[in-house]
Amino acid sequence: MNSREKINKLKEEIAKGVIGQEEMVNSILIGLLTSGHILLEGVPGLAKTTTVKAVALAIDLNFKRIQFTPDLLPSDIIGAQIFDMKTSEFKIKKGPIFTNLLLADEINRAPAKVQSALLEVMQERQVTIADDTFKIEAPFLVLATQNPIEQEGAYSLPEAQLDRFMFKIVVSYNTKEQEYEIAKRVTMNSFEQINKAIDKNDLEELKKEVKDIHIDKELEDYIIDIIDASRNPKNYGLDDLVDIIHFGASPRATIDMFKAVKANAYLRGNDYVSPIDIAMLAKDILRHRIILSYEAMAKEINVDDVIQKILEKIAIP
């Protein structure tokens, strides 16, 4: 199979286990192609775990899930040094972080130390247990889920930790037609078996091809302008956002945008990036990185609306 056939086959296999939720599936594939982690926000029951499992099966990757709770410890994630009574020696017991796809469920219910331990591994892609350091095998992708902040017992992640995620995807409900199909298949147990479409070696080849996707200098400048407008709105004639934005997007947003738009163009079957790719991903990349002021909260201004204003103001090349 050529690369296009592999991508199509991969999407077909994932679709056997997941009805709808195209944006979530697409973001996971972009994350795998660019080594970017993903934060999924939505109420329970929206097929987040099912989607990750389907991707793991279709690419023959290891998958583990951690349910985050207030009493979780860092060692529950990364592992610990334990004493073996039989041999009278200390041994390393590796935690669930040693996998390819890790679903960190309800990350915003865990203590700060646990969140920090996970996010450190996300950044460094290695784990230190006692005196030993272990590399995390590639590919390694964390998909963290969080309930909407207003739900009881949930706490917002610190801005510095949020910045480690390439995307923040707001997972919405399926359409009525999709929900009917889901209910029908579940009650009849008629979901098809998901088969391996590609393997790790194929994924590495696809990642190399993504890096070769062309992006014009004008589009790179366009991305820079979008990010800069979130920091200096007055310079772009966005005076109404000066008191609305408290902090703009970080340099990681620029890096992630450069990588993600290439992968999105690739998944769409193009060998070049277009303004459409930037428009498709801008909100997912920026919504967790732009911090609004108290005035914005008082006026009930949504961060997605702020991003939309920036996109409408910056001229498309």
CATH of the domain at 58: 3.40.50.300
Whether residue 188 lies inside any domain: the answer is no
Report strand pairing: 79-84 vs 126-129.
unpaired
Q: In terms of domains, do 242 and 157 share one?
A: no
Q: In terms of domains, do 9 and 105 share one?
A: yes
Q: In terms of domains, do 238 and 167 share one?
A: no
Q: In terms of domains, do 152 and 231 share one?
A: no
Whether residue 191 lies inside any domain: the answer is no
pLDDT at 149: 59
228-287: per-residue pLDDT in tens?
Answer: 999 999 999 999 999 999 999 999 999 999 999 999 999 999 999 999 999 999 999 999
Whether residue 55 lies inside any domain: the answer is yes
Whether residue 50 lies inside any domain: the answer is yes
Whether residue 37 lies inside any domain: the answer is yes
Q: In terms of domains, do 68 and 133 share one?
A: yes
Give the chain's domain count: 2
Q: In terms of domains, do 60 and 177 share one?
A: yes
pLDDT at 268: 93
pLDDT at 22: 86
Cis peptide bond N-terminal to 158, omega within 30: no
Q: In terms of domains, do 246 and 105 share one?
A: no
Q: In terms of domains, do 161 and 246 share one?
A: no
pLDDT at 154: 62
Instruction: Give the chain as a 3 state SS string.
Output: CCHHHHHHHHHHHHHHHCCCCHHHHHHHHHHHHHCCCEEEECCCCCCHHHHHHHHHHHHCCCEEEEECCCCCCCHHHHEEEEEECCCCEEEEEECCCCCCEEEEECHHHCCHHHHHHHHHHHHHCEEEECCEEEECCCCCEEEEEECCCCCCCCCCCCHHHHCCCCEEEECCCCCHHHHHHHHHHHHHCCCCCCCCCCCHHHHHHHHHHHHCCECCHHHHHHHHHHHHHHHCHHHHCCHHHCCCEEECCCHHHHHHHHHHHHHHHHHCCCCECCHHHHHHHHHHHHCCCCEECHHHHHCCCCHHHHHHHHHHHCCCC
Contact 40, 57 (CB under 8 A): no
User: Which segments in the chain show pLDDT lower than 50?
Assistant: none
Q: In terms of domains, do 61 and 136 share one?
A: yes
pLDDT at 155: 64
Query: Which tokens hold the place of 234?
Result: 């007055």
pLDDT at 43: 76
Here the CATH number for the domain that contains residue 287 is 1.10.8.80
Q: In terms of domains, do 241 and 287 share one?
A: yes
Q: In terms of domains, do 9 and 70 share one?
A: yes
- Expressed as residue numbers, the domain containing 56 is 3-182
pTM: 0.90
Contact 86, 126 (CB under 8 A): no
Whether residue 198 lies inside any domain: the answer is no
Whether residue 125 lies inside any domain: the answer is yes
